[in-house]
Amino acid sequence: MKYICWDIDGTLLLTNYAGVAAMKSTIIDLYGLDNFEFTYGMAGRTDTYIARKAIEGIQGRCTPEEVTRMLQAYGKKLPASLVEKQGHLLPHVKETLEWIRQDPDTTSLLLTGNCEVAAHAKLAYFGIEEEFDYSRSAFGEISELRDDLSQALWDRVRKTDPGVTRDQLVVIGDTPHDITCAQAIGVRSLIVLKGSAYAPDRLEAYHPWKIIPELPEDPRDLNAILEED
């Protein structure tokens, strides 16, 4: 069995900043600020981290309960923001996921900084929500740190597949965080440039297993890449 562990934003889809808009709207509702600006990089970060940093920026302190409240409110606003912003799936994503679903020897998991409600909202909007095994996926509620997410996913996979080896997993993403969280559990990382905000040389500095321009048009070609040493 191969386990393909997908990042969401910048890898499977682009939301045209629907998440940022929904988070800003949430901040207006909860804190009355209509001019809040995120002053830190958000690509590859967990929603938990983003929410904590925002709350600390607003009031100088933050509790876990405040993070939970913000993420719950954000999750309710995100579906409408997705409709308004009209993002898109990245090339060949739908075909690739459908092909994987039909392959009994390959499973798609999610390894994403999105909190689970946000992940479902995005995937449902773009029509790919049914393509993943959620029971062994990892979401942003687990930790602020992507390395903790990958460890949680690895533990869940081992629990249901005790004989699994690390070479059966690959993380597919678009940021340095995807590379480092794969390295944290000793598995490969495949970086797809098409939706990435990072230049290839910046990504190469983190030593991913492979970098490709975009997902292949024929999913069998992706499978061939994953079979390479």
Whole-angstrom Cα distance, residue 192 to residue 200? Answer: 10
At 15-61, the pLDDT tens digits run: 999 999 999 999 999 999 988 988 888 888 999 999 999 999 999 99
- Total count of domains within the chain: 2
Whole-angstrom Cα distance, residue 70 to residue 68? Answer: 5
Shared domain check, 202 and 139: yes
13 strand-pairing partners: 9, 89
**Single pTM value for the model:** 0.95
Shared domain check, 92 and 81: no
Of all residues in the chain, the percent with pLDDT exceeding 90 is: 94
Laid out side by side, the sheet with 2-6 consists of 106-110, 2-6, 169-173, 188-192, 210-212
At 83-115, the pLDDT tens digits run: 999 999 999 999 999 999 999 999 999 999 999
3-state secondary structure of 4: strand
Shared domain check, 79 and 187: no
3-state secondary structure of 226: helix
Residue where a domain stops, chosen among 85, 100, 126: 85
Shared domain check, 167 and 102: yes
Domain, as residue range, for 122: 2-15+88-227
